[in-house]
Amino acid sequence: MASNVAVKSRYPKTRRIRFQFGENDSSGKYFVNDDMVFSHFVAGLSGGFPPGEEAFIRSVRRFADQITDPVLKKRVAGFIGQESMHGQEHRRLNERLIDMGYGIEWFDRDSVIQAQKRFEQRIKDHTHLAMTAAAEHYTAVLAQRVLSSDEVQAIPGEPEVWNLLNWHALEELEHKSVAFDVYRATGGSEARRIAVMATMIALTFPFTLSALAVSVARDPQARRQPVRLAREAYRLFTGPLFKGLMPELAKYLRPGFHPDDIDTSALLERWQAELFGADGALVDHLK
C-alpha cells in the first residue's frame, strides 16, 4: 500500500494544455480501430465528461469553507483546476465528434444541465460529495487500466484522441483521493459512502449500456451491420477495459477503504515522465 503521506504531498498539477483534434486525422468516423461500438463508447464517455466534471467541482466547492487542512486545500485547488481543463478539452473534442455524426450533444444541453443542478439541490450535500468520490473511483480504475495495459495502448486510433485520454487518465490518478478526503474531513459517514457506491454500481451499467445502445442505434451505418455490431460489442465488454472490472470497483465497498490503498505511484511516475518529462510526448501541447 502506498504511503498516504507521500501520496498526499503530491498536489494535483493544473496543466494548461491544448489538443489539435482533426488536424492529422485519417482514421475516419470510427476513430478507435475502425470499431463502431468502441468508437461510440469513447464518444459517449467524452460527451458525458464536461457536465459530469462540473458537477464534481460543485460538490467539492459546497464544502470549501469547512476545509481547514492547508494541504487538503491545495489538493482541492489542483483537483478543480484539472477537472476544469478536462471539461474544456473534452468539449473541444465533442464538437468534432458531433460533426462526425455522434449523437452526444444531449449531454451538454442546458435543460439536462439544469435538471442535474436541481437534483443536486434536492439531495444532501454529503450525498452529492459521496457520488463524486464514488465516480472518482470509477475513473481511477479505468485510468489505471488504460495506462497499465499494453493491449489498450496498442489499440489503433486517432493519435490526438489517445493523447487526450492518456493525459486525462494520468490526472485522474493524480487526484483520485481528493474528493474522498474532503468527504471524510467534513464528516461524511462510511454507511453513506458505501450505500451511494452500491447504488451507483447498480445503476451505472444499465445507464451506460442504454446510452451506448441509443448512440449506436442512431448511426445509420451501424444499424445496417448487426452481425458486426454484435461481434464488436462482445469484444469491447470482454476486452481489457471491462474484463474483471466489477471486483475492482467493488473494493470501494469495503469498510475502511481508501483510494490510496491501490498503489498507482509507479504508474504515475512513468506516465508523468512519458507525457510531461523533458522529452514528454505532450510537452509541446502545454500553453
The pLDDT value given to residue 24? 58
Give the per-residue pLDDT at 11: 78
pLDDT band for 26, please (50, 70, 90 cuts).
Answer: low
Q: With pLDDT > 70 as the criterion, what percentage of the chain qualifies?
A: 95
Q: What CA–CA distance (Å, rounded) separates 285 from 161?
A: 13
pLDDT in tens, 71-123: 999 999 999 999 999 999 999 999 999 999 999 999 999 999 999 999 999 99
pTM of the model: 0.93
Q: How much is the pLDDT for 101?
A: 92
Q: pLDDT digit string (tens) for 228-268?
A: 999 999 999 999 999 999 999 999 999 999 999 999 999 99
Q: What is the mean pLDDT of the chain?
A: 93
State pLDDT tens for residues 172-198: 999 999 999 999 999 999 999 999 999
